[in-house]
Amino acid sequence: MLPSPIIRKELEPLLREPLTIDQRQPVLGFTIDGETSKDLDDAIWIEPNQAGAVISVHIADVTALVPINSQLEQQAFWQVETRYLAAGNQPMFPRELSEDKLSLLEEQPRWTLTIAITLNESAHITNTQLLSTHLHSLKRFSYLTADQTLNDPSEPLFQNLRYCQIWAEKLAWKRKNAGAFGQTTLSGVTLDEEGRLIEPPAYHSQQIIQEFMILANTAVARLAEDHQLPILYRNHTASAIAPQSKLLIETLTTLGLPELVRQKLQSWLNPATYSPAVMGHFALNLPAYTHFTSPIRRIADYFNHRILKAVFIAQKPSPYTLKELEAIAQHINNKQTEVKEKRDQHFREKRLVKTVNVLNTSEKLLILSDKEFSQILKDSLKVAKLDKLISEAKQRLEKRSLKPSDLYYLVFGEYQNPDNRRLIKDELLSYLDEEPALATQVLQIASSIEQTSVNYLQETAQSGDFAFWTVFADKTTVNPAIAPNKQTAKHQGNRYWLQAKLEDRLCPLTDINKTALETVVTETATNDLALPVIAEEMDLSEIPTEAVNNPIAYLHTLLQRLKLKKPLYLYEQVGSQWQCSCQVQWLDDILIDTQALGANKKEGKAQASLKAIIQLENYLLEDWETLN
C-alpha cells in the first residue's frame, strides 16, 4: 500500500535529513532475525563480569524520527501493527522507514534506545538503565548464520554469541523454575509467551532473542512500575478454573498430546490485553510485563517509547494522561481482536475449500500425509459427514498411523450412513486392545473438546476385583469392566464405553447391571475382560539404541526427565510364560499401560518397558503441527 500524499509529504524531509549522532552514546551490537526479515528493530550485546553480566538490548528509536501527532503516527495507530501475509507484509510505517531509515541495518548509523540490564550470577535483575544511544550494527545475522557462528570459534563474534547463549539458557531455566510456561517447550509442545501453540524453534539463536526480548520487556515494565508510571502494560490473566502455574505445567507435561494441551489452555487462559493498569502476566509468571522491543512493528511499543523517553531521558512528564492511555489501549485491543477474527475466518474458509476439494476427489485422499489427513478429518465435519473418509480411515487404522485425536473424530463424528461407523469398529477396537491407555486418551480429548468430564462408578466385584462403569455425557455401559488392577479396569471401562458408542448401545445410569459383579461378564467376543497380549513386531526405527539395549533403565530416565512417577510393573503367569504390565502414572491416573509376554519376569518387563517407550514417542512427544 502506497503512502498517502500527506504522509509522503511528511516522509520526504525525514528521508533527506542525515542522522546527527555525535551527541548520543555509541554502543556495540548485532542483529539476529529471520532470513527474510527487513524491519530489524532490535540488536543485542553482552558484557560478562565477575558479578554476572550486563545485557544491552538496542531498540530502533522510532519516535526520534516520527513526529508526534503526525499523519505517519496516526496511520500507524489506525493499523496497530505490521501484518504478515502469505504474499508479503503490510508494514505499520512506510517501507522507506521500516525497512531502511529505522531498520538497524549492518554498518549503518542508527538512533537507538538502549536498555542496559545488569544481572547477578543467578540471572536476577539488579539494575536497569534507559539510554539514548547510536548504533552501527556489527553484523546482520540470520538464525542460521548465528548458529553457524556459535559452532565456529574462528568467527569474530563467536565469543560474544557464546556468552549470549549461556545467559539465555540461564534466563530460560530461571523462568521455568519460577513457574513460567509461556515461551517454553513442554514434552515436545512449544508455546509462545501467551501460551499459544507455535512451531518449535529450529535454531539455538532463536532462544537467545526470545530470552533477551522477554528480559528487556520485563526490565522496562519493572522500571515503570517502580516509579508508578502508567504505560501500556501487557497483561495476561487466567480463568477462575485454571490451576496455579506449577500445577498447570505438571498437567500440561503429563497430557503431552498437543490437542489436549490446546483445549486445556483455551479453557484456562484469557487473551492478553494492553492496559495502563498492572495486572501481571500469567503465562510468564511475572507481576508486570510490557512490550517495548518492537516499535517498528507494534504501536504499543511505540507509545511506550514516547512515555519512557520523556520521563527517564528528557526528565519530563508523560505526554499522555491516564485517560488517553486507557483509550489508546482499548483501541489496540479492539483492533487486534478484529484482525484476529478476520484472519481466523480467512484460514477457516481456505481449509474448508481444500477439504471439499479433497472429499470430492478420492485419489487425493490416498496421497495425504498423516498430518494432512488429520486436518481433513477434523474439517470434514464442518462441510459434510465422515462417510467419504471411511475407506481411507480404515486403511490408516490397519497401519496404526492414526493419532488419538483422529480416533476421537471417527468415534464421535457424524455419518450419513450409520453402517459406515460400524465398518471401522472392529479395527478400531483391535487398536484399543493393543494399546489399553488409548481409550483413555480418546475420552480425555472428548472431555476437553466437549467441555465435560469423564466420571467413573466404582464397585468391588464378588471376586475382589475392581469394577468400573465409565460415565460420559450422562451415558454409560450396561456391564462394568472388571480387572484385578484399578487402572486396567479404568482403561477397559473406557474401551467398553467407546465400543458401546460405536454400536449405539450406551444407556443411562439407571440401566446398569450390578448383578454382573457376582460373575465374570463377557459382552462380546471382542470385549474380553482380560486384555490380550499381542505378540506383534515393534517398530524400533525411531527408538534410540540405548532404549533398545536397556529399555528398563531408559524408561526410568525418560520419566524422570518428564517429572513423572516411576513405572509400575505388574506380573501374571500365563501358561509357562510371564505377562508383565508396565504402567506410567500421573497423580491418580495411568496414561500408558503396556503388556508383554516373556520367558521370565525380566524379559516380560523389558518388552513391556520398550512398548511404553514407543508409546511415549508416539503420543506424548508427537508433532505440534497436527493441530494446525
- Which of 421, 441, 470 lies at the terminal end of a domain, its last residue? 421
In the prediction, which pLDDT does 201 show?
Answer: 87
Examine residue 540 and state whether it is found in any structural domain, yes or no. Answer: no
Which of 269, 295, 313 is CA-nearest to residue 82?
295
- Which of 396, 421, 446 lies at the terminal end of a domain, its last residue? 421
The number of C-alpha atoms within 13 Å of 577 and in the hemisphere containing its C-beta is 12
Examine residue 408 and state whether it is found in any structural domain, yes or no. Answer: yes
Find how far residue 72's CA is from the centre of its chain. Answer: 36
On average, the pLDDT of the chain sits at 85
Examine residue 162 and state whether it is found in any structural domain, yes or no. Answer: no
Is there a single domain that holds both residue 108 and residue 151?
yes
Q: How is residue 315 written as a grid cell?
A: 526528565
- Per residue in 58-87, pLDDT (tens digit) is 999 999 999 999 999 999 999 999 988 766
- Per residue in 89-122, pLDDT (tens digit) is 889 999 999 999 999 999 999 999 999 999 999 9
In the prediction, which pLDDT does 530 show?
Answer: 38
Examine residue 325 and state whether it is found in any structural domain, yes or no. Answer: no
Is there a single domain that holds both residue 307 and residue 454?
no
- Per residue in 377-401, pLDDT (tens digit) is 888 877 778 888 888 888 888 888 8
Strand pairing of 481-483 and 466-472? antiparallel
In the prediction, which pLDDT does 534 show?
Answer: 39
Strand pairing of 42-49 and 52-60? antiparallel
In the prediction, which pLDDT does 570 show?
Answer: 84
Q: How is residue 278 written as a grid cell?
A: 498492572
Question: Any alpha helices (H) in 276-319, and if so which ranges?
Answer: 299-308
In the prediction, which pLDDT does 380 show?
Answer: 81
Instruction: Tell me how far apart the alpha carbons of residues 260 and 262 are, in angstroms, rounded to a whole number.
Output: 5
Examine residue 374 and state whether it is found in any structural domain, yes or no. Answer: yes
What DSSP character marks residue 298?
A: B
Number of domains, the chain: 4
In the prediction, which pLDDT does 589 show?
Answer: 63
What DSSP character marks residue 70?
A: -
Q: Give 58's contacts (C-beta < 8 A, 6+ positions apart).
A: 27, 29, 42, 43, 44, 45, 104, 112, 113, 114, 133, 135
415: containing domain: 334-421
Decide if pLDDT at 623 tops 80: no
In the prediction, which pLDDT does 529 show?
Answer: 35
**Which of 151-155, 494-498, 515-519, 619-623 comes out lowest in average pLDDT?**
619-623
CATH of the domain at 552: 3.30.160.20
Is there a single domain that holds both residue 276 and residue 389?
no
Secondary-structure breakdown of the chain: helix, strand, coil percentages, each rounded to the nearest 5: 45, 20, 35
Q: How is residue 294 written as a grid cell?
A: 518492537
Is there a single domain that holds both residue 431 and residue 416?
no
Question: Any alpha helices (H) in 455-503, and if so which ranges?
Answer: 486-502
- Per residue in 152-199, pLDDT (tens digit) is 999 999 999 999 999 999 999 999 889 899 998 877 788 899 988 888
Instruction: Tell me how far apart the alpha carbons of residues 135 and 5 are, in angstroms, rounded to a whole number.
Output: 32
Is there a single domain that holds both residue 410 and residue 441?
no
Q: How is residue 617 written as a grid cell?
A: 514417542
Pick from 32-46, 383-397, 602-616 the range whose average pLDDT is largest.
Answer: 32-46
The better pLDDT of the pair 182, 347 is held by 182
Is there a single domain that holds both residue 187 and residue 311?
yes
Examine residue 327 and state whether it is found in any structural domain, yes or no. Answer: no
Is there a single domain that holds both residue 26 and residue 122?
yes
Decide if pLDDT at 460 tops 50: yes
Decide if pLDDT at 538 tops 50: yes
- Which of 272, 291, 320 lies at the terminal end of a domain, its last residue? 320
Is there a single domain that holds both residue 393 and residue 462?
no
In the prediction, which pLDDT does 626 show?
Answer: 37
What DSSP character marks residue 116?
A: E
In the prediction, which pLDDT does 325 show?
Answer: 97
pTM value surpassing 0.85: no
- Per residue in 435-445, pLDDT (tens digit) is 888 888 889 88
In the prediction, which pLDDT does 417 show?
Answer: 86
State the Cα torsion 69-71-73-78 to the nearest 10°: 120
- Per residue in 279-332, pLDDT (tens digit) is 999 999 999 999 999 999 999 999 999 999 999 999 999 999 999 999 999 999
Is there a single domain that holds both residue 503 and residue 588?
no
Is there a single domain that holds both residue 71 and residue 126?
yes
Is there a single domain that holds both residue 237 and residue 148?
yes
- Report DSSP letters for 163-191, one per residue: HHHHHHHHHHHHHHHHT--TT-EETTEEB
Find how far residue 448's CA is from the centre of its chain. Answer: 16
Across 587-598, average pLDDT? 74
Instruction: Tell me how far apart the alpha carbons of residues 215 and 284 are, in angstroms, rounded to a whole number.
Output: 11
Is there a single domain that holds both residue 571 and residue 472?
no
Instruction: Tell me how far apart the alpha carbons of residues 70 and 397 are, in angstroms, rounded to a whole number.
Output: 62
Determine the residue type at 162: R
- Per residue in 508-534, pLDDT (tens digit) is 999 998 887 875 544 433 333 333 333
Determine the residue type at 152: D
Across 544-571, average pLDDT? 80
Count of H-run helices and E-run strands, the chain = 21, 19
**Per-residue exposure over 130-155, b if at least 16 CB sit within 10 Å of its own CB, e if not:** bbbbbbbbbbbbbbebbbebbeeeee
What DSSP character marks residue 313?
A: I
Examine residue 537 and state whether it is found in any structural domain, yes or no. Answer: no
In the prediction, which pLDDT does 257 show?
Answer: 65
